[in-house]
Amino acid sequence: MSEDSDRLIWLPRAARWLLYVALVAGFVFIIFGFYLTATLGLTGASIVLVGVGATVILVCALGFGIVVALTYVHAELHRTRRALLTMMDVQRRHFGEQQSQLEVIAENALLSDATKSLAHREKERAALRTAIREDITREDWDTAYSLIEQMSTRYGYKDEAERFREEVEESRRDALESKVNMAIQQVEELFESNQWERARAEVRRLLGLYPDHERIKVLPDRLETSFTGRKDLLRRQFQEAADRKEVDRSIELVKELDMYLTPQEAKELEGVVRMVFQDKLDNLTVEFELAVHEQRWPMAISVAKQIMSEYPNTRRAQELRDGVFDSLLKRGGIGAGEVQAS
């Protein structure tokens, strides 16, 4: 468009020069027309020349005006087009800037969404960690393993899930060992206190709970070893007490030993046991006779009652029931009702 404008610059100039020439020519015709009229009296020719000169001037002036108008219109159109092009260029640049800003905003939005997603995943990850540790504390192993599986498969934290799995397994082993240690300690206390029936029941219970645990599987053998060891100790102590004629100690030991012995073992000790009880009866008889001889009636009555209670089927007990005991009561001044009350 600028090149067209440059090419049209000559047009107003040419029109202006043409107007000058037309004006000169027009005035020449008019002056010449007046001259003819004034000097020669040629009115008709003068009128023609004046008309021609005026027409030339008028036509040239009109043409010059049209050229000037066209030139002005062309210039205005050129300015308008340039303004429009400038405006379009500005709008194009503005649109480009807006598009760049929108791209930046969209990118920031994507980054924001990604950041939010990462933050949300981190919160979920932290919540999973907390839940798993709470399950470990509560010893809820199945739930802990389930959450670890979610951490691995759903969220993709395979390395951390594997570390948690190892931690759960270690905690589970520690918890199991703690329970087993406590249970074994209780069983050993039952061994030490010779509570064999309770010990057997506890061993059976532990075998049901921990059938594959090595320390639990050996408890039945330990129970039998402790039981047999206690039985052998009692038999040896009983035999030694019987040999030393420690009658009361022997009877105390044989009463405890009775629960350990099988029928065959009891039969083997039957002779020694009978001898011990016979020695006890003999001792009581001697003690009774000595008390009667010394007229210590309360003592005699007490020993007589012991003989009748502990040896009810012996000849000495029968003699006491046949009248000797009543005689003792009379001598001691004790009524039958008082004896029964005592």
Of 63, 90, 120, which residue is a domain's last?
120
Write down the pTM of the prediction. 0.51
% the chain with pLDDT above 90:
14
Does residue 164 form part of some domain? no
Asked whether the predicted pLDDT for residue 50 surpasses 80, the reply is no
Q: What is the pLDDT of residues 311-324, one digit of tens each?
A: 888 887 887 877 77
Residue 245: HSE in the Cβ half-sphere, 13 Å Cα cutoff = 4
Give me 259's structure tokens. Answer: 């629960």
Residue 161 is predicted with a pLDDT of 81
Residue 172: HSE in the Cβ half-sphere, 13 Å Cα cutoff = 14
Asked whether the predicted pLDDT for residue 23 surpasses 80, the reply is no
Asked whether the predicted pLDDT for residue 258 surpasses 70, the reply is yes
Band the pLDDT of 202: cuts 50, 70, 90: very high
Classify burial at 140, counting beta carbons within 10 Å of its beta carbon; exposed 0-12, middle 13-18, buried 19 or more.
middle
Specify the amino acid at residue 40: L
- Rg from Cα positions in the chain: 70
Q: Are 332 and 325 in contact (CB under 8 A)?
A: no
Asked whether the predicted pLDDT for residue 5 surpasses 70, the reply is no
Residue 38 is predicted with a pLDDT of 64
Residues 315 and 228 in one domain: no
Residue 257 is predicted with a pLDDT of 87
Does residue 28 form part of some domain? yes
Residue 82 is predicted with a pLDDT of 79
**Per-residue three-class SS string for the chain:** CHHHHHHCCHHHHHHHHHHHHHHHHHHHHHHHHHHHHHHHCCHHHHHHHHHHHHHHHHHHHHHHHHHHHHHHHHHHHHHHHHHHHHHHHHHHHHHHHHHHHHHHHHHHHHHHHHHHHHHHHHHHHHHHHHHHHHHHHHCCHHHHHHHHHHHHHCCCCHHHHHHHHHHHHHHHHHHHHHHHHHHHHHHHHHHHCCCHHHHHHHHHHHHHHCCCCHHHHCHHHHHHHHHHHHHHHHHHHHHHHHHCCCHHHHHHHHHHHCCCCCHHHHHHCHHHHHHHHHHHHHHHHHHHHHHHHCCCHHHHHHHHHHHHHHCCCCHHHHHHHHHHHHHHHHHHCCCHHHHHHC
Asked whether the predicted pLDDT for residue 233 surpasses 90, the reply is yes
Alpha-carbon distances, residue 87 vs 90, 93, 223 (angstroms): 5, 10, 105
Does residue 135 form part of some domain? no
| Residue range of the domain that includes 290 | 269-342
Mean pLDDT (the chain) is 77
Band the pLDDT of 283: cuts 50, 70, 90: confident
Residues 21 and 78 in one domain: yes
Residues 39 and 100 in one domain: yes
Residues 22 and 61 in one domain: yes
Of 256, 284, 311, which residue is a domain's last?
256
Does residue 207 form part of some domain? no
Residues 91 and 19 in one domain: yes
Residue 131 is predicted with a pLDDT of 86
Does residue 8 form part of some domain? yes
Does residue 67 form part of some domain? yes
Residues 252 and 275 in one domain: no
Asked whether the predicted pLDDT for residue 200 surpasses 90, the reply is yes
What is the tally of structural domains in the chain? 3
Residues 19 and 56 in one domain: yes
Band the pLDDT of 275: cuts 50, 70, 90: confident
Residues 18 and 40 in one domain: yes
% the chain with pLDDT above 70:
72
Does residue 328 form part of some domain? yes
Residues 273 and 309 in one domain: yes
What does the pLDDT average to over 169-181?
87
Does residue 326 form part of some domain? yes
Asked whether the predicted pLDDT for residue 225 surpasses 70, the reply is yes
Of 102, 120, 138, which residue is a domain's last?
120
Residues 8 and 102 in one domain: yes
The residue among 257 and 110 whose pLDDT is bigger is 257
Q: Are 125 and 155 in contact (CB under 8 A)?
A: yes
Q: What is the pLDDT of residues 130-163, one digit of tens each?
A: 888 888 888 788 888 888 888 778 777 788 888 8
